[in-house]
């Protein structure tokens, strides 16, 4: 009997040791998996997508169920900023981690990214990834320099009054490329255009989706002005329909990535190039101003095995490239203007966000935002001397200019902003615009 008991104890000890070693091995495997770099990168960008019209950011209309589902698995940045309300300069900042006055692309027309820049695509291609950009608007044409590093670079046809590619066609092209290339490591950039004017490019079922619905809460204050209320609601309804249409295509792309078994090996970044004015400050469109609706964009980053979270601190487009390189185990250049976003819930040190806009014949406007206070000022180098100070905590609509009342805060932010403006300005790579490009830019509202 005693021998049986000793044998049973010995077997129990052996079993416990085996279980313990198995658990340790599993723990070690999990830790290794958590530290393993992703194999692939998919960058999804949506033209003129402002953060506050994405449901995951608190919008009271169901515009983005597929983006919301991605956000629930990702790190969502509540206060992410584009550096300029214009497409080509914005993407130049994403691809180089430099502010517009550092990379020299200061307008969507006339300027191109210099070949001296080392872009996201070039860096990832050098690391062994196949690279492709499938872009739904003609203004991202190769002459703008954003094609650097892409083995495949496809933009919308450049035909008279046909400068965009419908979102389903962009998705079809992306799915076809994935079918042909998913066995390799890859970087795929997909850009959708539809939230940009004119909204009549959106299928009627989506364009009219919200027409019969109540207006968003942001319009409540206008109910006593029926004419203005109806006018603004129609514009917002069509914009929201365009957002919902693109969201459906994002859902197609994300769904296929999951079906192909790629989600567990792929880093996903979703953002807008800039926002869109929907008659705030009387502006319908973008480019000319840097109020919140025009520069605050969604930024959602998914990395396999990283816990979902929401970050309330200021982050910027220039942070995307260093964060991608860090996740892929690649060197982050000290020359970058951006920083690595930790994505693991670590505290973010206080951070100013900056934006600028360059308007031919009118000069330059610049912005600093410290998380609560925001100062917009005209560049004194162009002879203007205007300042707008807003308390975004009490006045998120930027309706009350406090520059005169809050003199000390204005002076404090102005000093920091002037330092940012004057550190250095890159030589601009001016290429001019062809007559056909001018016609396209007029059609899209970039120039008058």
Domain membership flag for residue 401: no
pTM above 0.85, yes or no: yes
Domain extent for 256: 38-347
156-184 b/e (C-beta count within 10 Å ≥ 16 → b): beeeeeebbbbbeebbebbbebbeebbee
Q: What are the tens digits of pLDDT across the range 368-407?
A: 999 999 999 987 766 667 899 999 999 999 999 999 999 9
Query: Is there a contact between 175 and 253 (Cβ–Cβ < 8 Å)?
Result: yes
Q: Is 330 among the domain residues?
A: yes
Residue 441 lies in a domain: no
**pLDDT per residue as tens digits for the range 172-194:** 999 999 999 999 999 999 999 99
Three-state DSSP class for residue 90: helix
CATH number for 84: 3.40.720.10
Residue-by-residue pLDDT tens, the chain, 448 positions: 444 444 544 444 444 444 444 443 433 333 444 468 899 999 999 999 999 999 999 999 999 999 999 999 999 999 999 999 999 999 999 999 999 999 999 887 778 999 999 999 999 999 999 999 999 998 898 999 999 999 999 998 755 556 789 999 999 999 999 999 999 999 999 999 999 988 888 999 999 999 999 999 888 888 878 888 899 999 999 999 999 999 999 999 999 999 999 999 999 999 999 999 999 988 888 877 899 999 999 999 999 999 999 999 999 999 999 999 999 999 999 999 999 998 987 877 889 999 999 776 667 889 999 999 999 998 776 666 789 999 999 999 999 999 999 999 999 999 999 899 876 666 555 555 566 666 666 666 666 6
| H or E segment to which residue 191 belongs | strand 186-192
DSSP 8-class letter at 308 = P
Residue 118 lies in a domain: yes
Residue 51 included in any domain? yes
In a domain, 428, yes or no: no
Q: Is residue 251 part of a domain?
A: yes
The Cβ-side half-sphere exposure at 381, using a 13 Å CA radius, reads: 10
Is residue 248 in some structural domain? yes
Q: Regarding beta strands 296-302 and 75-81, do their DSSP bridges make them parallel or antiparallel, or are they unpaired? A: antiparallel
What is the total count of domains within the chain?
Answer: 1
């Amino acid at each position: 009997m005693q021998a049986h008991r000793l044998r049973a104890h010995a077997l129990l000890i052996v079993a416990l040791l085996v279980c313990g070693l198995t658990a340790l091995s599993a723990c070690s495997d999990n830790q290794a998996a958590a530290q393993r770099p992703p194999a692939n990168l998919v960058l999804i960008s949506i033209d003129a997508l402002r953060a506050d019209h994405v449901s995951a950011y608190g919008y009271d209309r169901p515009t983005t169920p597929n983006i919301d589902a991605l956000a629930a698995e990702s790190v969502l940045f509540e206060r992410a900023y584009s550096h300029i309300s214009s497409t080509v300069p914005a993407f130049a900042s994403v691809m180089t981690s430099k502010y517009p006055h550092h990379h020299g692309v200061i307008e969507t027309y006339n300027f191109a990214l210099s070949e001296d820049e080392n872009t996201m695509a070039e860096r990832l291609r050098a690391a062994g990834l196949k690279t492709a950009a499938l872009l739904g608007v003609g203004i991202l044409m190769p002459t703008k320099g954003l094609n650097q590093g892409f083995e495949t670079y496809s933009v919308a046809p450049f035909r008279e009054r046909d400068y965009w590619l419908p979102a389903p066609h962009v998705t079809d092209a992306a799915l076809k490329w994935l079918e042909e290339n998913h066995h390799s490591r890859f970087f795929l950039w997909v850009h959708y255009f539809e939230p940009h004017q004119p909204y009549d490019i959106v299928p009627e079922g989506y364009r009219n989706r919200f027409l019969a619905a109540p207006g968003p809460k942001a319009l409540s204050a206008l109910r006593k002005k029926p004419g203005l209320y109806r006018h603004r609601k129609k514009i917002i309804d069509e914009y929201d329909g365009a957002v919902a249409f693109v969201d459906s295509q994002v859902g197609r792309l994300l769904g296929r990535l999951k079906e192909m078994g790629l989600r567990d090996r792929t880093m996903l970044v979703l953002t807008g190039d800039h926002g869109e004015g929907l008659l705030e400050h009387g502006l319908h469109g973008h480019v000319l101003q840097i109020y919140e609706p025009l520069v605050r964009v969604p930024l959602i980053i998914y990395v396999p095995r990283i816990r979902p979270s929401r970050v309330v601190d200021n982050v910027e487009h220039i942070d995307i490239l260093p964060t991608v390189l860090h996740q892929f185990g690649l060197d982050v250049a000290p020359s970058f203007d951006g920083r690595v976003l930790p994505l693991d819930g670590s505290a973010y040190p206080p951070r100013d966000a900056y934006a600028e806009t360059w308007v031919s014949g009118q000069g330059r406007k610049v912005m600093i935002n410290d998380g609560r206070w925001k100062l917009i000022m005209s560049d004194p180098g162009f002879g203007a001397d205007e300042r707008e100070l807003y308390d975004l905590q009490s006045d998120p609509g930027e309706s009350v200019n406090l520059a005169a009342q809050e003199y000390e805060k204005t002076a404090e932010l102005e000093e920091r902003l002037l330092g940012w403006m004057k550190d250095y300005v890159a030589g601009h790579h001016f290429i001019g615009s062809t007559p056909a490009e001018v016609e396209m830019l007029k059609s899209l509202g970039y120039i008058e």
